[in-house]
Amino acid sequence: MKTSKEKRYETDLYMPVRDYFMEKGYEVYGEVHHCDIAMMKEDDLVIVELKLTLNVDLLVQATNRQRLTDFVYIAVPKPKYKRNSKKWHDVLHLIKRLELGLLHVSFTKKGATVETILNPGAFDRKKSQQRYKKRRTKLLEEIKGRNGDYNVGGSSKTKLITAYMETCIYIACLLLEFGPLTPKALRGWGTGDKTLSILSKNYYGWFEKISRGIYSISEKGKQELGIYPDQVCYYQNKIIELQEEAEKS
């Protein structure tokens, strides 16, 4: 028996997986019509595809086997990353989404063991979406809260223009234009229900509370508005339009 540090081959996975299913009463065969493992128990046909790495090729191979049966497993050596990691949960979701089963094979000095992580089964998309209903709501709110497409898709480690930041820029533009204002007055210009929270938390350090319920723009706010010329221009024009509408009415 090889130790956990010795180089392994896909064939090393065969015996542990074969023995695992034989103990469960399956009639197991290796390499049947391009399937790594094919087995029967009563009328159930089960297929297992073996790989040393869980990769796209393995998933393609396994989903191709689903043309033959609903019961398809992928078997790989137990990964080193922790099961409470984001990567682990993402991998599990993908395998569930593909309606595949997952087996982990562990190798120790005492021998090899097989663990069923997932059994093949139908994926309930509606149930999955229901679990993430709040996240969907937040996504839609973020989209509705944005007034332009200022971010480049695929960007990372760069400051993004979020709906929250746009509101901060709008508030800063109003304070720059009209001087100190109350949250109520700002909301009258359409800054939204989170205006007071934005001012009091002052995440970017753009605002100053000069007296009870009165806020102004800070020097930092004045300087950093220059970083966002497109957004500032948009909100300056919006202020002009709202003023013109108010004069007409």
- Reply yes or no on whether the pLDDT at 57 is more than 60: yes
Convert the pLDDT of each residue in 211-238 to its tens digit.
999 999 999 999 999 999 999 999 999 9
- Percent of the chain exceeding pLDDT 70 equals 98
Q: Are residues 206 and 147 in the same domain?
A: yes
Tell me the sheet residues that pair with 32: 35
CATH number of the structural domain spanning residue 28: 3.40.1350.10
> Long-range contacts made by residues 199-206, C-beta under 8 angstroms, separation at least 24?
199/171, 203/164, 203/168, 204/165, 204/168, 206/168, 206/171, 206/172
What CATH number is associated with residue 200? Answer: 1.10.10
- pTM here is 0.72
Instruction: Note down the domain range covering 183.
Output: 143-243
pLDDT at position 5: 61
Q: Which of 46-50, 171-175, 235-239, 241-245 has the lowest mean pLDDT?
A: 241-245
Q: In this structure, are 90 and 186 located in the same domain?
A: no
On the question of pLDDT at 105 being above 90, the answer is yes
pLDDT exceeds cutoff 60 at 189: yes
Q: What is the pLDDT, as a whole number, of residue 2?
A: 55
**Rounded average pLDDT over 74-83:** 87
The CA distance from 188 to 205, in Å, is 23
Task: Look at residue 54 in the predicted model and tell me its pLDDT.
Answer: 94
Q: Range with the lowest mean pLDDT among 45-49, 105-109, 153-157, 194-198?
A: 153-157
Give the pLDDT score at 204: 96
What does the chain come to in residues?
249
Say yes or no: 118 and 23 in one domain: yes
pLDDT at res. 208 = 97
